[in-house]
């Protein structure tokens, strides 16, 4: 049974959330040494990777030992092990398969989905952290209604709402559900929402108008509305401000855990009693030449190690994510580090020597009225290209005007990014079919 703090408590777990950093480090080292010994013994991928680097858990007694000697694991290494050995768990599984209670999968947005092994109730050695501390911090209390706007492929994880004493309103992750969300929000007055993205916010404007509902009223009871997946464009931000949406950003942390903004809205906290996060030079070839980037706010590649997962822990997992990190105390009183996401290393395209990430194209695309949902893909056959090719979604435009619209998109992108793109227009519906709206692949080979 989850123990809840008194309602007036600002923190879900005050002792852990405000733990002095030296104490966090002590706890992390203890968990790290335990985790690496366990993973080395049970995970074939970890053991083989370490053996190739001629290191064993006995060689690691300090953080410096770990950073200096332990090799990275990449997503490709996991996939290669899976495909080469016929092991659907990519060599990460540390328990016999018959002990698993669930076999879920990753989203598959950045490649084919991979299996995620789970053991309910026995998979973690930590205290309740992610979701619990974050939503409590946003103000969710027992008895509150809580809008869940989710897909199901991660299984019945939404039970955390009831464990917090909340009552979920259940919605599909689908634009078609927005009107129902608005209506039930007016009826039940929920305090929290998980999770809504930029595309959803943009679509809400038209849907609310057609339904005759004022989004300001529908969203007036919310204390925290979590969005994730993709950067919010200027248009979505402006609408959210206009409607008084209390937005909190949320993001993955190297496939090991996730992070949430706190009330300060200055970076997303991740709970360091569950994960060890490092920042390294993105150009590093391997652990031997990887420069640690420890200055607050500097761009780095995120490397993460699971500290409490005893089913399939990732150790020194090189995420491909470009981020900024800060370990200075936050004004909210929490001592755990914060992260800002910037983009994926693998999404970068070099157009005639100029670096372009999807985030750079975004505001240009959504500035055109027919493209206001900001749906687009960068077509990236290889990293370096001569011409930036974009597939852009549109709505409400007669076919006779499409040529002119393509020119307008190209002009907007040129003004923003400095290169003239080749623009292929497709109806929004065609892009939306590629996945849940906040997860359409923004970079594609074809």
Partner 1 sequence: MRYLVTLVALGGGVVSDATALWGVGTWVDRDGVRRPWEVSHTEIQRAMGHSSRVLGDLGVGPGARVLWCSMLSEAAQVWPFIVGSMLSGAQLSCADATAAEAPRVAMFCRLIDYRAVMGVTGAILDGLDEMGLAYADVFGAVAVLGARPDAYHRLTTAGLAPQHFALVGPAVAVAREPAGPALVDDAEWAVDLIDGHVAVTTKSERPTAFDRAVTCVRAASTSGNEIACA
Binding letters toward Zn ion, positions 179-218, x by CB under 5 A: ----------------------------------------
Please select the residue that binds Zn ion; options are 236, 330, 410, 425, rule is CB under 5 A: 330
Count residues binding partner 1 (CB under 8 A): 79
Say whether residue 373 binds Zn ion (CB under 5 A).
no
**CB 193, min distance to Zn ion, A:** 20
**CB 264, min distance to Zn ion, A:** 5
**CB 7, min distance to Zn ion, A:** 20
Q: Which stretch binds Zn ion (CB under 5 A): 198-206, 256-264, 276-284, 285-293?
A: 256-264
Q: Is 212 exposed, middle or buried (0-12, 13-18, 19+ CB in 10 A)?
A: exposed
**Cβ contact 377:442 at 8 Å:** yes
Instruction: Point out which residues pair with 343 in neighbouring strands.
Output: 322
Q: List the single partner that 294 binds among Zn ion, partner 1, none, CB under 5 to 8 Å by kind.
A: none
Say whether residue 6 binds partner 1 (CB under 8 A).
no
Q: Which stretch binds partner 1 (CB under 8 A): 34-42, 179-187, 211-219, 387-395?
A: 179-187
Residues from 299 through 358 that contact partner 1 (CB under 8 A): 306, 308-309, 311-312, 314
Say whether residue 377 binds partner 1 (CB under 8 A).
no
Binding letters toward partner 1, positions 234-253, x by CB under 8 A: ------------------xx
Using the minimum distance from each CB to partner 1, give the nearer residue, 273 or 360: 273
**CB 170, min distance to partner 1, A:** 5
Using the minimum distance from each CB to Zn ion, give the nearer residue, 334 or 389: 334
Say whether residue 388 binds Zn ion (CB under 5 A).
no
Q: List the single partner that 210 binds among Zn ion, partner 1, none, CB under 5 to 8 Å by kind.
A: none
Please select the residue that binds partner 1; options are 33, 150, 284, 385, rule is CB under 8 A: 150
- What contacts 24+ positions apart, CB below 8 Å, involve 338-344? 338/259, 338/266, 338/267, 338/268, 338/269, 338/270, 339/251, 339/253, 339/259, 339/267, 339/268, 339/270, 339/277, 339/302, 340/267, 340/268, 341/251, 341/268, 342/299, 344/110, 344/320, 344/443
Instruction: Point out which residues pair with 309 in neighbouring strands.
Output: 124
Say whether residue 262 binds Zn ion (CB under 5 A).
yes
Residues from 38 through 67 that contact partner 1 (CB under 8 A): none
Please select the residue that binds partner 1; options are 57, 90, 91, 123, rule is CB under 8 A: 123
Say whether residue 131 binds partner 1 (CB under 8 A).
yes
Q: Which stretch binds partner 1 (CB under 8 A): 17-25, 35-43, 166-174, 348-356?
A: 166-174
Residues 10 and 332: their CA atoms lie apart, in Å, by 10
Say whether residue 110 binds partner 1 (CB under 8 A).
no
**CB 123, min distance to partner 1, A:** 5
Say whether residue 169 binds partner 1 (CB under 8 A).
yes
Using the minimum distance from each CB to partner 1, give the nearer residue, 141 or 327: 141
**Cβ contact 248:226 at 8 Å:** yes
Say whether residue 184 binds partner 1 (CB under 8 A).
yes
Residues from 331 through 370 that contact Zn ion (CB under 5 A): 332, 334
Best CA proximity match to 252, nearest among 439, 17, 117: 439
Judged by the rule CB under 5 A, the positions of this chain that interact with Zn ion are 262, 264, 330, 332, 334
């Amino acid at each position: 049974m989850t123990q809840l703090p008194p309602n007036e408590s600002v923190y879900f777990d005050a002792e852990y959330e405000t733990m002095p950093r030296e104490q966090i480090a002590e706890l992390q080292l203890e968990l790290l040494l335990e985790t690496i010994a366990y993973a080395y013994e049970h995970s074939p991928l970890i053991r083989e990777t370490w053996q190739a680097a001629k290191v064993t858990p006995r060689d690691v007694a300090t953080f410096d030992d770990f950073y200096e000697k332990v090799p990275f694991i990449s997503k490709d290494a996991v996939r290669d092990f899976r495909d080469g050995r016929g092991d659907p768990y990519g060599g990460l599984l540390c328990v016999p398969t018959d002990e698993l209670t669930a076999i879920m999968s990753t989203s598959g947005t950045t490649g084919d989905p991979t299996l995620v092994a789970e053991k309910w109730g026995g998979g973690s050695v930590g205290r309740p952290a992610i979701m619990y501390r974050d939503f409590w911090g946003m103000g969710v209390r027992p008895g509150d209604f809580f809008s869940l706007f989710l897909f199901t492929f991660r299984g019945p994880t939404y039970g955390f709402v009831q464990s917090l004493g909340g009552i979920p309103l259940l919605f599909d992750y689908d634009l078609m559900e927005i009107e129902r969300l608005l209506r039930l929000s007016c009826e039940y007055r929920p305090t929290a929402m998980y999770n809504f993205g930029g595309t959803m916010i943009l679509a809400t404007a038209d849907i609310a108008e057609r339904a005759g509902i004022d989004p300001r009223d529908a969203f007036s009871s919310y204390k925290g509305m979590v969005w994730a997946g993709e950067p919010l464009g200027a248009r979505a931000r402006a609408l959210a401000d206009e409607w008084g949406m209390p937005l909190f950003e949320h993001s993955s942390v190297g496939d090991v855990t996730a992070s949430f903004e706190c009330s300060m809205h200055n970076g997303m906290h991740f709970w360091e009693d569950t994960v060890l996060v490092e920042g390294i030079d993105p150009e590093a070839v391997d652990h031997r030449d990887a420069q640690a980037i420890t200055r607050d706010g500097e761009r780095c590649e995120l490397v993460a190690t699971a500290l409490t997962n005893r089913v399939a822990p990732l150790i020194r997992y090189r995420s491909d994510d470009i981020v900024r990190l800060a370990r200075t105390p936050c004004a909210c009183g929490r001592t755990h580090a914060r992260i800002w996401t910037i983009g994926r290393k693998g999404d970068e395209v070099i157009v005639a020597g100029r670096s372009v990430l999807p985030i750079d194209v975004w505001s240009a695309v959504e500035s055109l009225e027919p493209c206001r949902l900001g749906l687009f893909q960068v077509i990236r056959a290889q990293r370096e290209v001569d011409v930036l090719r974009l597939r852009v979604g549109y709505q409400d435009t007669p076919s006779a005007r499409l040529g002119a619209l393509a020119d307008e998109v190209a002009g907007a992108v040129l003004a923003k990014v400095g290169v003239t793109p080749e623009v292929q227009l497709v109806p929004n519906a065609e892009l939306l079919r590629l996945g849940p709206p906040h997860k359409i692949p923004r970079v594609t080979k074809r």
